[in-house]
Structure 1
């Protein structure tokens, strides 16, 4: 994998370690997790580990040594009997060559070799507190090093959270990552199209979820990026609702927030559409408000803008829509500015307009910058090739002071946006957002 990005990322981490005085970094992958009895959950690697290795097998650790610039992989040894049961293993020798490491050893050698690597280094770089089991391993290795103090061997005198380095690296995507995310977005969009075209009264939410999952796997996705939200009628007003057995009823909306993971990278799409293929007048009114708010947020997404600029743009449109429709009363809230200042909009729009997305659907990276002179931390400025979601919504629960025509209407529209110098590029518009286009798609 000489032309892969993984070795280059490891080199960048080592450079960052050296700027902090140097040391050894330890980045383990995720453990296998039992589901019940002798059955495990489907295995998914740790994102930080995969970002530096491209390696998907369990029981593996990346070690970076800034003293000599070396990257080392510990992984499972070849074992014909286990491979018959569990599948192919690279083994250290093949993994070293294929994944571009300077050295590779069996995971069985980890406890013997780590104290040697940690001896006489100034600092340890590690995800402090991320895993009690891994913390215990680290303590054991450090105590082994300290036991040699009479021989002049020293243990690391300081520790750094390696995630602080990796979070900043992962926040700005390279061409390799954006290419995968674009393909993931395309697959997810195709799945939403299939769900819209399948929709009809009488189906259950899980029927539509099955169509999504089928389309994900049919096009090569390894997993859903998160638990699929398929919510009809009143369920669409529950933000993290999971697909259940509720019947899709004639005249109701269906909100689907679902997307796939491809080669370690997530996509994230939400669409809201009428079960019978035709918006009612009330549904269309609120839908168009949400769509206009999303467009305002998209227009505000560009390099140099603050992270909260898209949210502020969306809120202004939503607030005006709430006043225009009577969801918020003008005799109580005289203007859009009043609505925003009092946060009255949060009754119907209670979440933010976006989040980072990448290897994790809610990806790593700080949303605020360091505060000058210890004051309030400002929202960070967007940079080219950051990727975030844009997802405003309106959710109206029944209440005595709310006109019944709006009851149980839940609408969210979400796309994934790559920040560019002059705006953003949407990765997920393979499924329509315009109400007329949705109705035409469903008729077809």
Structure 2
């Protein structure tokens, strides 16, 4: 099968339109977030910081994969939000009021790794002080080993803000043996905090970033839309291409080809392509099974673009036609999703879409005789309907829907083999997931370009695929 796919793949690569990023003349396309955007986000954080406080934000560490090979670098999202810098071994200090460090006075100080020609020969250019200053328009930039952080008099500050995620939290940072530059910086600041008995205000930090990152700016919405369009293109081609005798990983390959073709740096998360009984495994990532006639394929896959990710799921019959039982379950999930959409209104609780969708599924499963009480629905719909979406696939955000919130609506029903119901329902797993932008008056479905109804899915399944 793979050998048969290769000629068509090569032809597609030759004939494919130029990707979104490749259309740009510059090495750094103009649809990256601007230095002004990041400066605005720093200003917004400082405005919400408590009096006499300092924000300490570390870049993510480089993570070892095996021996001398590292994982592809992924920046800490709060650090990226505030700087745009996608390099390790860096530290951002934000002060509520101006201070003087190394002869420069201000509220923002960025410490970065120095240029290193030997390292750059292996892993690519390091921006250094001059590069960071030029690209990100940062005024106070220093090499990280230029300054002894233990000399900062933290006794002047009543609270200390830190990054949100535990693997990067100040004074809880663990590098490779504690000897990499970022670990040494963390240890120095940690020592100062211990000396002055200053708290880590993690709850304050979470509140600030939930408020700011949860309400997307227009530039962020544009990037999420691009990631969503790439994802929709991939899903649509999988619907056309999938056939009995293909493997789950071939469906994944087709999906992710469209991500890369259009300029996506990474998948937004490990791709889920589960067929048959695997469609009932919520985060199935093995993607090795041979797909059979009569199986459903649940594809939960999406692109990440310039740091922002989509999150789209479609469930399709491998042979292009739903069985009666598959159709019944699918249409129940679709009804639940429509109910969740209707609850996506400014002012509603973030849980409102879930409550609406869960009620529909519970009543529907009872009507089908799969459960006898509504409380049993949890066995077949064990997850929430929505999560925030943005810099993380499970992003931070407010508890009340408002204009600019982006969230998923993704109800599902999963009936694994040996479930306590009629055998005819076994191995049916259905999830339908779309990315929803809350608008002033309601919502907009960013992933509406992928078919949702039984009729639409079966119609697309009959269309000719680029991957015969």
Matched, 1:420 2:461: no
Matched with 1:53 is 83
Greater CA drift, 319-328 or 122-131? 122-131
Matched with 1:300 is 343
Structure 1 residue 347: Cα displacement: 2.0
Instruction: Decide which of 437, 448, 457 is 1:429's aligned counterpart.
Output: 448
Instruction: Decide which of 141, 144, 148 is 1:107's aligned counterpart.
Output: 144
Matched with 2:133 is 96
| Ranges in structure 1 where 5+ consecutive residues have no aligned partner | 148-154, 334-338, 367-379
Asked whether the 8 Å contact 1:419–1:425 carries over to 2, the reply is yes
Q: Distance in 2 between matches of 1:159 and 1:344?
A: 42
Asked whether the 8 Å contact 1:302–1:423 carries over to 2, the reply is yes
Instruction: Decide which of 384, 387, 400 is 1:381's aligned counterpart.
Output: 400
| Ranges in structure 2 where 5+ consecutive residues have no aligned partner | 1-32, 99-105, 175-181, 464-468
Asked whether the 8 Å contact 1:73–1:96 carries over to 2, the reply is no
Q: Distance in 1 between matches of 2:386 and 2:150?
A: 41
Matched, 1:70 2:107: yes
Matched, 1:198 2:198: no
Instruction: Decide which of 81, 89, 99 is 2:118's aligned counterpart.
Output: 81
Secondary structure, counterpart of 1:82 in structure 2: helix
Matched with 2:45 is 13
What does the per-residue CA deviation read over 1:153-176, in whole Å, with 9 as the maximum and x for residues that have no partner?
xx4755423343223211111111
Instruction: Decide which of 457, 464, 467 is 1:438's aligned counterpart.
Output: 457
Alignment map for 1:346-361 (pairs within 5 Å): 346-361=378-393
Structure 1 residue 120: Cα displacement: 3.4
C-alpha change, 1:248 and 1:79, in structure 2 (3 Å) is same
Matched with 2:421 is 402
Matched with 1:326 is 369
Matched with 2:212 is 169
Asked whether the 8 Å contact 1:266–1:359 carries over to 2, the reply is yes
What does the per-residue CA deviation read over 1:376-408, in whole Å, with 9 as the maximum and x for residues that have no partner?
xxxx32111111110001111234752222111
Matched with 1:125 is 161
Greater CA drift, 131-140 or 69-78? 131-140
Q: Distance in 1 between matches of 2:88 and 2:453?
A: 44
Q: Distance in 2 between matches of 1:141 and 1:29?
A: 15
What does the per-residue CA deviation read over 1:263-318, in whole Å, with 9 as the maximum and x for residues that have no partner?
10111011000001111111111111111110010011111111111111112221
Q: Distance in 2 between matches of 1:400 and 1:67?
A: 61
Q: Distance in 1 between matches of 2:293 and 2:37?
A: 50
C-alpha change, 1:226 and 1:145, in structure 2 (3 Å) is closer
Secondary structure, counterpart of 2:121 in structure 1: helix
TM-score (norm 1): 0.87
C-alpha change, 1:66 and 1:281, in structure 2 (3 Å) is same
Structure 1 residue 2: Cα displacement: 6.8
TM-score (norm 2): 0.82
What does the per-residue CA deviation read over 1:338-367, in whole Å, with 9 as the maximum and x for residues that have no partner?
x2xxx221122111111111111111246x
Equivalenced residues, count: 410
Structure 1 residue 123: Cα displacement: 3.3
Q: Distance in 2 between matches of 1:184 and 1:2?
A: 18
What does the per-residue CA deviation read over 1:224-256, in whole Å, with 9 as the maximum and x for residues that have no partner?
111111000011111111142211101111001
Matched with 1:336 is none
Structure 1 residue 85: Cα displacement: 1.6
What does the per-residue CA deviation read over 1:87-122, in whole Å, with 9 as the maximum and x for residues that have no partner?
112111221232122210112225x14633646344
Secondary structure, counterpart of 1:394 in structure 2: strand
Matched with 1:370 is none
Asked whether the 8 Å contact 2:277–2:417 carries over to 1, the reply is no
Q: Distance in 2 between matches of 1:240 and 1:2?
A: 35
Matched with 1:178 is 221
Secondary structure, counterpart of 2:74 in structure 1: coil
Asked whether the 8 Å contact 2:90–2:113 carries over to 1, the reply is yes
RMSD over equivalenced CA pairs, Å = 2.2
Q: Distance in 2 between matches of 1:142 and 1:205?
A: 47
Greater CA drift, 138-147 or 226-235? 138-147
Secondary structure, counterpart of 1:355 in structure 2: coil
